[in-house]
Structure 1
């Protein structure tokens, strides 16, 4: 299933896509799409309501973030070999972790703001994992599959000077307002045949900048979820940004960074497409 939230900012309605491509209003089934409704039981109710065929249609206007409330966003750095190589970094032997605040999340086509004082705002297309059931101290990567509700697109916007040259942790360059466009929808895990064979692409002003595949991850999705569960409890509605392939501005000397007026388009096979215009903070 494809699950989305459609409507103006702050007034999005939960929706599910029908077989004919139309969107159906889930307001009578769930209050919202979040940690309480993304797990197996509620999703079975959503599937049953969709199969019954009597959900009202909703016009596909603005897509908001497909989760209304996100507990935490855990990010994996340097998780593609080609991205590590382009930035001059050693391929990590264990996943590199950092966090993004949930308040960085905006809809997939919402405006993204270049921070005040920024000179190096960069782009990063990523596969996002949405957790569906609580996971702690998982015994193996294979056990992780049962805890994944679905997948979506995250755009992990980054300010490289803040991240790398201002001291401290990476979080400074990752948590500026609007720095995590998310969506347009969550695709449930059962509708993603092979999560380790998805193409990821990103364009800036119509020019293809990133063209990668999840097959090139250093740490595959199930290994990432298993690993994280050894250090923190993952709860329903948590999101994991799993890293970006090569092609970011940081990795290609002379590439202009993002500025107000630039347009970025992002897509992942089977998970939809985003389009953001960048503005001033």
Structure 2
């Protein structure tokens, strides 16, 4: 099943069911008005949404409309919880190698995770608005899952049962603001602007055999200004699967329905398939040449992020964003 949230006159948008090929959609206010409402009552509501999805696939509905990804908001425009992991430890290892820093052994057994801003996610075609280029603008292509209610202390195996939806995201980073924040030893804040969602989210079964062991075994393609930066396989070198990430997040407290858990930047060991962020590209350059040659993003740069199935068909639709400067209001 594929779902999306489209624009209306509210902050939370209108839940719609979307056809597999992303061409048609149907509103379902009689079932749920918003994505959060559906997640709050998933066991009762999801079978009803699945029925509509089947009808949509069979062309038996008369109230459909053409789906336009530009009208899509983030699938869940504001969430109760957003936590991003760093499941691809090979990525962290590379970054540390570039600055001659040791990787603690615990990084391979205990996930890194930070809590991000969930008061507003943005849609796949919305601009990335940043005040200054010198902040070091970077994209980060990731996979994310959305959960129902997760009990505190859940183990990794049972945590997988709480994964209801899967998405791809762009977790934008402001690289030149990160060092000062981390030096305070209190995590990211200013260096993490709003995160972007793919046009649609899907239930894990929609991924067929590409969804295995709580991982998505497909390439995640990142294209900057028409140049493919990378297409690493999200199922390879993922040290911690989504069950483990959810269990980590729920170690000491329960998670509310609608919690979003990110994978961190998708990376493959040795980067044979390219990279999912410019920071990794620059690290490889530092290791090879002693200095980076690739700049971070500039205003008017365009980043596209997409994942396709084995038939070459888009699964989540495409994240397609342009970096724009905003003027602060004083």
Judge same fold: TM > 0.5, yes or no: yes
> Which of 258, 270, 279 is the equivalent residue of 1:250?
279
Following the alignment from structure 2 to structure 1, what is the Cα–Cα distance between the partners of residues 85 and 146?
14
Alpha-carbon contact 2:116-2:189 (below 8 Å) kept:
no
Deviates more, 1:111-120 or 1:260-269: 111-120
**How is 1:150-229 mapped onto 2 (pairs within 5 angstroms)?**
150-166=165-181, 167-168=183-184, 169-176=186-193, 179-193=194-208, 194=211, 195-214=215-234, 215-229=236-250
Q: Which has the higher helix share?
A: 2
Alpha-carbon contact 1:6-1:60 (below 8 Å) kept:
no
The SS at the match of 1:267 is: strand
Following the alignment from structure 1 to structure 2, what is the Cα–Cα distance between the partners of residues 43 and 15?
13
Following the alignment from structure 1 to structure 2, what is the Cα–Cα distance between the partners of residues 242 and 185?
18
For the aligned residues, what is the CA RMSD?
A: 2.2
Deviates more, 1:119-128 or 1:24-33: 24-33
The SS at the match of 2:78 is: coil
Following the alignment from structure 1 to structure 2, what is the Cα–Cα distance between the partners of residues 170 and 9?
35
TM-score (norm 1): 0.89
Alpha-carbon contact 1:9-1:64 (below 8 Å) kept:
no
Q: Which has the higher strand share?
A: 1
Deviation (angstroms), 1:127: 0.2
Deviation (angstroms), 1:106: 0.4
> Which of 91, 109, 117 is the equivalent residue of 2:125?
109
Tell me, yes or no, if structure 1 residue 132 matches structure 2 residue 148: yes
Tell me, yes or no, if structure 1 residue 276 matches structure 2 residue 321: yes
**How is 1:7-26 mapped onto 2 (pairs within 5 angstroms)?**
7=7, 10=10, 12-18=13-19, 21-26=23-28
Residue of structure 1 in register with 2:95 after alignment: 87
The SS at the match of 1:142 is: helix
Tell me, yes or no, if structure 1 residue 145 matches structure 2 residue 160: yes
Following the alignment from structure 2 to structure 1, what is the Cα–Cα distance between the partners of residues 245 and 65?
36
> Which of 295, 300, 309 is the equivalent residue of 1:261?
300
Deviates more, 1:80-89 or 1:39-48: 80-89
Q: Which runs of 5+ in 2 are unaligned?
A: 98-102, 268-274, 283-291, 309-314
Q: Greater Rg, structure 1 or structure 2?
A: 2
The SS at the match of 2:33 is: coil
The SS at the match of 1:259 is: coil
Following the alignment from structure 2 to structure 1, what is the Cα–Cα distance between the partners of residues 19 and 6?
14
Deviation (angstroms), 1:18: 3.3
Residue of structure 1 in register with 2:31 after alignment: 29
Deviation (angstroms), 1:76: 0.7
Residue of structure 2 in register with 1:63 after alignment: 72
Deviation (angstroms), 1:117: 6.7
Deviation (angstroms), 1:175: 3.2
Q: Which runs of 5+ in 1 are unaligned?
A: none
TM-score (norm 2): 0.77
Shift in CA distance, 17/256, structure 1 to aligned 2, threshold 3 Å: same
Q: How many residues align?
A: 276
Alpha-carbon contact 1:186-1:271 (below 8 Å) kept:
yes
